[in-house]
Structure 1
Amino acid sequence: MNTVEPAHTAAPGAEHASSGPSVKLPRAGRKNRDWLHGLLMSAPAVGGLIAFVGIPFGYAVVLSFYNVRLGSPLEPSFFGLEHYRRLFTDPDQSGPFLRALLNNLTFAAVVVPLQTGIALGLAILLNRKLKAIGLFRSLFFMPVVFPMALVAVIWRLILARSEQGMLNSLLDTVSFGNWGAFDWLGDGATAMASIIVLSVWQGVGFQMVILLAGLQQIPGELYEAADLDRASRLQQFRHVTLPGIRGTLVFVALLTSVMSFRVFDQVYILIRGGGLAEDAARTVMYQAVTTAFDQNNVGQASAITVVFFLIVLVLTIVQRRLVRPDNED
């Protein structure tokens, strides 16, 4: 009787023997791959910065060493450090520049804490589950969408000197005709305050949206635990809300600082068309533009921008060190 030989069965795991163990990249290889991916993803932004910031700034540094006049048939001549010397020693150049720098510092010192505080208050107010809350968020954000030229024109009508100005008309009505007309833009005591109010109104919605996103990332369990501990609203704000959005607050403060130093549009429009007091409201960017295009002195304007860039860079680094989040090295 014939018997059938049993088929040889493979040893357990033999079917996987040919595939071999999974290959893992060494740690250095993974880091190099991640670095390459990060470089490729950031390439468009880095390219834009180089093309629209780095190259123009490098060209401005070069022009600051030359005597360049717009519309002049003469070739640019090498000036060395003369533009920088005049910027700090020549009264005709140093006076307006230092006054513009002081106005910039005053503007930033007021706008950064004021706008950040208002944005935080609005974000907390709008971080609620209410009907039509999206409508209220849109209304507060709407001024950000408006071009600064349009905002300046609107506030020129509000702050107009005549009795037809909206603010003067309101105050005259409230005071039963005893107010009269006041030149909010032309008076040196209120010119910078007018620019500050205008700028805060236009930009606070942008910071509000960023802070609102930060508030929504705080776990609700933290507030529930605070309620169980019978913490008051103020205690919850100090010990839960502020630590939860510390990094976001730092980012907003830095962003607002940079934007406050580059203020130009509203100042230029209101000085040229709204009767804004020039000496009381001129900024460094305004000084640079008028030097380049009104005085036809491109070299001096380039020196102003280079010095101002270095000042803003130093102030930004100092501010970054002072308000660094706890989770950063």
Structure 2
Amino acid sequence: MAPALFFLTLFVFVPIIYVVYLSFYKSNLLSPHPTFVWLQNYVDLFHSENFLQAFHNSVFLGVGMLLLSLPLGLVFASLLNMKLQGSQVYRTLLFSPYVMPLVGSGLVFTLLFNTDDGLVNHMLTALSLPAVNWLGSSHTALFSILVLSVWQYTGYYMLIFLAGLQNVPQPLVEASQVDGAGRGQTFLHVTLPALSPSLFFAMVVCLIQSFQVFDQVYVMTGGGPDGASTTLTYYIFEKGFQMFQMGPAAAASVFLLVVLAVLSLLQVYISRRWVVDES
């Protein structure tokens, strides 16, 4: 217990405390003398259009992943739960994007969305539709990031739902079928309530992962054009390691930490209040 607590303190609590400390200073990696500014970094943060845009983009990714990744994961999990022939192969194929390196996946999708030679635009051209500048337009750059994120994480949520479906009490399912309930009614009134722990867990994990999107942005768009695809994590990277403004970067990091903590606490609260107890 003691060694674990030591490493937890050294690699988790100490960095968090140091980041909070930095957020109260105007410091620059090129300047050895930081200036104490109290809450000014936070005030400047919420008056920064770039920060607000990054926050909006992260929220967009979160909502998009909730509306796309989770339903797709649930559909795939339901199909695999039917014990179809070759289901293990399908499960491996669907989960494989999650274990692929994000940088490699980002490079592949960069080629797919390439304006001149990308497969997506070739398909549009074949359908007599105009080619789209997916990664160079402020209207489509963030959507391209969302497509990669959905492809990357859907298999992970599928496994969460599949584990939940396999733990649904079969006597309840059989009883509903005896009472004349169809598949849809059984799913809505028996399976879905029993799946609520997995569902709420996946929702919170999905939101947390959406706020941590970085590699995809770094590889595919670099936050552009004009910040249209900049996320909170990429904003922190820009402030801290490109502009060397450690104070604002630390303040943004603390804000992100608070957001993730609130989401985690919300998951605990919802689980205790609305999750169905299978026992």
TM-score of the pair, normalised by structure 2:
0.90
- 2:50 is matched with 96
Q: How many Å separate the matches in 2 of 1:140 and 1:314?
A: 30
Q: Are residues 1:269 and 2:212 paired?
A: no
Q: Are residues 1:142 and 2:96 paired?
A: yes
Three-state SS of the structure 2 residue aligned to 1:67 is strand
Question: Structure 1 residue aligned with 2:253, among 278, 291, 305?
Answer: 305
One-letter amino acid matched to 1:309? L
Q: Are residues 1:165 and 2:118 paired?
A: yes
**How far apart are residue 242 of structure 1 and its match?**
0.5
RMSD: 2.2
Q: How many Å separate the matches in 2 of 1:214 and 1:87?
A: 41
- 2:168 is matched with 218
Change (3 A) 1:321 1:195: same
Q: How many Å separate the matches in 2 of 1:49 and 1:148?
A: 26
**How far apart are residue 149 of structure 1 and its match?**
0.5
**How far apart are residue 322 of structure 1 and its match?**
4.4
Question: Is the 1:254–1:320 contact (alpha carbons within 8 Å) kept by the matching residues of 2?
Answer: no
- 1:115 is matched with 69
Question: Is the 2:201–2:267 contact (alpha carbons within 8 Å) kept by the matching residues of 1?
Answer: no
Q: How many Å separate the matches in 1 of 2:170 and 2:262?
A: 39
- 1:106 is matched with 60
- 1:18 is matched with none
Q: How many Å separate the matches in 1 of 2:159 and 2:276?
A: 23
Q: Are residues 1:197 and 2:147 paired?
A: yes
**How far apart are residue 106 of structure 1 and its match?**
1.6
- 2:38 is matched with 80
**How far apart are residue 186 of structure 1 and its match?**
1.4
TM-score of the pair, normalised by structure 1:
0.77
Q: Are residues 1:131 and 2:85 paired?
A: yes
Q: How many Å separate the matches in 2 of 1:278 and 1:319?
A: 34
Question: Is the 2:137–2:225 contact (alpha carbons within 8 Å) kept by the matching residues of 1?
Answer: yes
Deviations 1:279-298, CA, capped at 9 Å, x for gaps: 21111111111011111111
Q: Are residues 1:66 and 2:33 paired?
A: no
Q: How many Å separate the matches in 2 of 1:182 and 1:135?
A: 35
- Give the unaligned 5+ runs of structure 1: 1-39
Three-state SS of the structure 1 residue aligned to 2:247 is helix
Q: Which stretch shifts more, 105-114 or 289-298?
A: 105-114
**How far apart are residue 221 of structure 1 and its match?**
2.6
Q: How many Å separate the matches in 1 of 2:236 and 2:81?
A: 42
Q: How many Å separate the matches in 2 of 1:233 and 1:289?
A: 49
Deviations 1:130-187, CA, capped at 9 Å, x for gaps: 322111110101101101101111110111111x110001111232xxx343101111
Query: Percent identical across equivalent pairs?
Result: 37
Question: Is the 2:113–2:121 contact (alpha carbons within 8 Å) kept by the matching residues of 1?
Answer: yes
Q: How many Å separate the matches in 2 of 1:193 and 1:47?
A: 42
One-letter amino acid matched to 1:201? W
Question: Is the 1:112–1:260 contact (alpha carbons within 8 Å) kept by the matching residues of 2?
Answer: no
- 2:13 is matched with 54
- 2:108 is matched with 154
Q: How many Å separate the matches in 2 of 1:276 and 1:244?
A: 43
- 1:249 is matched with 199
- Equivalent pairs counted in the alignment come to 276
Higher gyration radius (CA): 1
Question: Is the 2:23–2:41 contact (alpha carbons within 8 Å) kept by the matching residues of 1?
Answer: yes
Question: Is the 1:100–1:287 contact (alpha carbons within 8 Å) kept by the matching residues of 2?
Answer: yes
Three-state SS of the structure 1 residue aligned to 2:21 is helix
